[in-house]
Structure 1
Amino acid sequence: MTGCSRELADMLERRRIDICAVQETKWSGSKPKEIGSGYKMMYHGSPRTRARVGIIVSEKFREAVIEVQRYDDRLMKIMIASDSAKIHFFSAYAPHPLLLSICSAIRALGQETTAVPSKDFVIVAGDLNGHVGTEKNGKCAHGGFGVGERNADGERVLEYADAHELVITNAWFHKRVMHLLT
């Protein structure tokens, strides 16, 4: 366990966050790791890359995780059993637009989302590197709040969300500008 992972676990505990998607992790391999405060991180990544993903789960939800699927360095999923349905929680990371096109990342995410049974729930968390802007422009996934101008990658993210009946939660609630930018 590193100092940063312990710090992250402490912050998740303080904010009472039970499940968290992380991107650009430094650990390679595909195994669970205790990071402190009862949190376990499931991660996936090749030693040759730097853009790895992971999902951190609190002790409260560990027993509910019934499956972990690692697709590639940029996409993984855990399946959580609840009383009423299964929850498919994805951690996704699309490459920076200047490095690679995000089309393949969105396409892979779309394929895996399509494979989820319609009675189950889908949650996608991550960094998709698209700017969805401030305007809804007929997109059901956009709530009318956001920042900046929509770019082509943001349009792809919105098309993906609309096609799978998902919403971009960061664009549904009014927030201070400093909380919209990372």
Structure 2
Amino acid sequence: MIKPYYSLNNLSPICFSKVEVGGGSHILGGVSFTKIPRVLIAKCGLDGHDRGAKYIAKALRDAGMEVIYTGVRQSTEDVAQTAIQEDVDIVGLSLLSGAHKTLFPKLIEALKEKGGGDIPVFGGGVIPAEDIPFLISVGVKAIFTPGTKVQDVILEIKKILEG
């Protein structure tokens, strides 16, 4: 189990892995990437259950991606700032609280306001199927619900980042 740790300001993200990027292709979780992705996994709002976020962070790290995890109860503004500061390629937001129709649009807007509007956002958690079209319409690139295979997440990240 991954135990997050924080600096004294309690807002600094943790890096699960640092991977040196060389030329050529990289095989991550059986999928070829042109560069190793930097992924930010975040928890926003009052949702304190982070087992799923830690699971996907570890799985993506184990697949060879560089993963930064924010910890729980972050604001969308803090997540956007961290995404820009850490120069991530993609942001994954884990939500179980039912606030997905509020927090995803707020995060996407915060990224735009801070100059990171080009950073794609995906999400996961307990999100009703009938809400997914709305989330896609506001700019979320993919939603993963419980039971999604890690390999499918890796393939979708590749699709989002490399077209």
Instruction: Say whether the fold is shared (TM-score over 0.5).
Output: no
Larger helix share, 1 or 2: 2
- TM-score of the superposition, structure 1-length normalised? 0.37
Higher relative contact order (CA 8 A, sep 6+): 2
Larger Rg: 1
- TM-score of the superposition, structure 2-length normalised? 0.40
